[in-house]
């Protein structure tokens, strides 16, 4: 706030001049009093300017702080999102979330995926799941012509502070490798203004890829 310091320095300089003139007046003629009155008028104007600009600065700061508080304050949910990550339950699973052409890769000898569903407000921030909304359901959607299903029965949803997680194991056995498996996540009701079941797809599709070797076999043959 450099402008404030500049004005305060100007005010201080004016006060010093007035003080010096007041001392001079005590031993000089009365004309110095007119000068003092002029200086006091200038001081009053500078103080008024500082007061006005400080008020304006605080007003703009208040508006900004109010906007920040509104963004940080949890708002009512207006929808939900769904994303999946591979399990990391054992050494056979693909570690972490690996993207290839926008998809998630899951090892065919891994554990499956964990689907995370979050309620979001009108700004897109996670917020509390509506108390009237039931737990979501998930349904596999395989690419046309593929040999699915590639996943088994989904486990029961686990509640979180903003929604649910649902673990879905791979089918046993996995029918093959595939690109572009999707899951449809549905909520029957309970969101504001919701009049019919709402369904969203995962933010990224899932690719089933060959996993790392976990063992080996030896087959004898005759010479």
pLDDT in tens, 6-59: 666 676 666 666 656 555 555 555 555 555 556 666 666 666 666 666 666 666
Residue of higher predicted confidence among 165 and 28: 165
Whole-model pTM: value is: 0.61
Return the domain boundaries, the chain: 2-72, 79-209
- Which phi and psi angles does 32 have, rounded to 5°? -65, -25
Check residue 116 and give its pLDDT: 92
The CATH-assigned architecture of domain 79-209 is Sandwich (2.60)
Instruction: Give me the torsion for CA of 67, 72, 74, 75, rounded to 10°.
Output: 30
Res. 94 pLDDT band, cuts 50 70 90: very low
pLDDT(145) > 70: yes
């Amino acid at each position: 706030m450099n402008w404030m310091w500049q004005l305060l320095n100007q005010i201080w300089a004016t006060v010093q001049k007035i003080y010096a003139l007041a001392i001079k007046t005590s031993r000089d003629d009365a004309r110095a009093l007119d000068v003092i009155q002029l200086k006091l008028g200038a001081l009053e104007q500078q103080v008024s300017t500082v007061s006005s600009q400080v008020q304006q600065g605080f007003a703009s700061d208040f508006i900004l702080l109010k906007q920040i508080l509104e963004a940080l304050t949890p708002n009512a949910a207006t929808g939900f999102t769904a994303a999946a990550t591979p399990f990391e339950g054992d050494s056979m699973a693909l570690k972490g979330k690996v993207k290839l052409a926008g998809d998630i890769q899951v090892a065919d000898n891994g554990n499956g995926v964990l689907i995370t569903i979050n309620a979001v407000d009108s700004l897109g921030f996670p917020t509390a799941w509506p108390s009237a909304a039931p737990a979501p359901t998930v349904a596999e959607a395989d690419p046309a012509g593929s040999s699915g299903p590639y996943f088994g029965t989904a486990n029961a949803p686990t509640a979180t502070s903003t929604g649910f997680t649902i673990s879905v194991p791979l089918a046993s056995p996995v029918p093959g490798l595939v690109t572009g498996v999707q899951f449809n996540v549905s909520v029957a009701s309970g969101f504001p203004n919701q009049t019919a079941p709402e369904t969203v797809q995962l933010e990224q599709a899932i690719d089933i890829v060959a996993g790392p070797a976990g063992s080996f076999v030896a087959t004898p043959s005759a010479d």
